[in-house]
Amino acid sequence: MEHAELRKSIGFIAATSLVIGTVIGSGIFMKPGVVIAAAGDSTMALWAWVIGGIITLASGLTIAEVSAKIPKTGGLYAYIEEVYGKFWSFLCGWVQTIIYGPAVIGALGLYFGSLFAGVFGFPKQAETWIGIFAVLFLALINILGTQYGGAVQSLLTLAKLLPIFLIIVFGMIQGDVPVLGMESGSSQAISMGTAVLATLWAYDGWMNVGFVAGEMKNPAKTLPKAIITGIVIVTLCYLAVNIAILHVLPASKIVELGPNAAKEAATLLFGDVGGKMIAVGILISIFGCLNGKILTFPRMPFAMAEDGLFPGARFLTRVHPTFHTPVQAIVLQVAIAVAMMLMTSPDRLSDIAIFSVFSFYGLAFYAVFLLRKNQKLDHSLYKVPLYPVTPVIAIAGAIYIIGSTVIHQPLDACLSVLITLSGIPVYWSLTAKLKNKAAEKAS
């Protein structure tokens, strides 16, 4: 579909809500224990959340200028193509389709299964299968029609904010546990890089708003404001939730409870019934986030296939005649996600997802320098504040995350790099076919 055909109906409030809705999902509830264990104590854990927020805000401020100059539907993929060309945009889309998207869906599904089993008393061995069922169920909903997936998303966006609000307010008021300087009680090696990486899973998703830039009333102005406002609100929420939980539970207990820490804190604050209700609210939050990913991620392979830049393009570009949805693209993403769910843990999947995409985030951050060099500065458009310091912080953050993963999780890093490089011969093969077709038509 051409951009001119898209209805420009999304304003600032809706775009900001989309940023908040796509970011807040599982991370704020699933990662506090992981962050504390990696950071070593509660004070350093809070600093990890602050550093993650600073990196994310610097990233958002930088991408906001890029998006103002390239207000196209497609987000990261569109920015990379405009600045670096089709080869790099292909690799970006390849990574998002083969690693990032499925890893995010898989991790969210496994987090959902873990918490669902804990709340409703299912055995631990059922967690993975509950997660897989949730992924398959939402895939079916989105196959039956985008309007159903969109309705589910709208219904769950407001519901996900309720447990966050209640935990913050009542945790701050009723908690009596010291917040700062509490040891993690974990025997694992202390690594702030690992801690910050874990927080970035919770912050990730803000760039997805770029997928709908073509449907905004004034994307050059609306998109930057929405990205910045959304990230600031999310960062403040995350810090407040962590302080509230630490005020209710000792740091070592949060590490011990892992994904169930927020549920336990809610039980202490509101009793068994209230705790279950908050836990159900958290499940709704994760379920809504998972639905949003299944709704949006298949757009990437579908768009690439429409350009002839993905294997099996004819198959993937088919739209169901009755449901009018890209069934094959949805099935592809979900099939890879389920395979990942059967092979590894949600924490590992979330780390792989962040590492795989941050290389391309780094390229997008550097694009602001190239765009300023190659284009006349339009003073009517948004410009990143504190230039060039802010983009440098964003780039340094990306390098820090990539380097930390290579040092502390070399196997995951190597696997991600190998899968990325596997896209190069695929690109050569596909572009050669496109050239041959063009030559045949010309003759």
What does the alpha-carbon distance between residue 161 and residue 180 come to, in Å, rounded to a whole number?
Answer: 26
Give per-residue pLDDT as tens, 35-76: 888 888 888 889 999 898 888 888 888 887 887 777 665 678
Helix, coil or strand: residue 377: coil
Q: Place 158 in a pLDDT band, splitting at 50, 70 and 90.
A: low
The packing angle between helices 261-296 and 101-120, to 10°, is 140
What does the alpha-carbon distance between residue 297 and residue 147 come to, in Å, rounded to a whole number?
Answer: 16
Instruction: Give me the pLDDT at residue 219, please.
Output: 64
Say if residue 257's pLDDT is above 90.
no
Helix and strand numbers, DSSP H then E, in the chain:
20, 0
Give per-residue pLDDT as tens, 72-104: 656 788 888 889 988 998 999 899 889 988 998
CA distances from 239 to 29, 172, 234 (A): 12, 12, 9
CA distances from 213 to 23, 222, 254, 324 (A): 17, 9, 39, 22
Locate 363 and state its tokens: 């390229």
Task: Write down the residue that tokens 């780039």 correspond to.
Answer: 395
Instruction: Give me the pLDDT at residue 392, please.
Output: 93
Of 333, 424, 343, nearest in space to 138 by CA: 333
Locate 126 and state its tokens: 């059922």
Q: Place 130 in a pLDDT band, splitting at 50, 70 and 90.
A: very high
Say if residue 345's pLDDT is above 80.
yes
> Is the four-CA dihedral 100, 105, 109, 112 of positive or negative sign?
positive
Mean pLDDT, rounded, for 104-113: 90
What does the alpha-carbon distance between residue 119 and residue 15 come to, in Å, rounded to a whole number?
Answer: 33
pTM above 0.85, yes or no: no
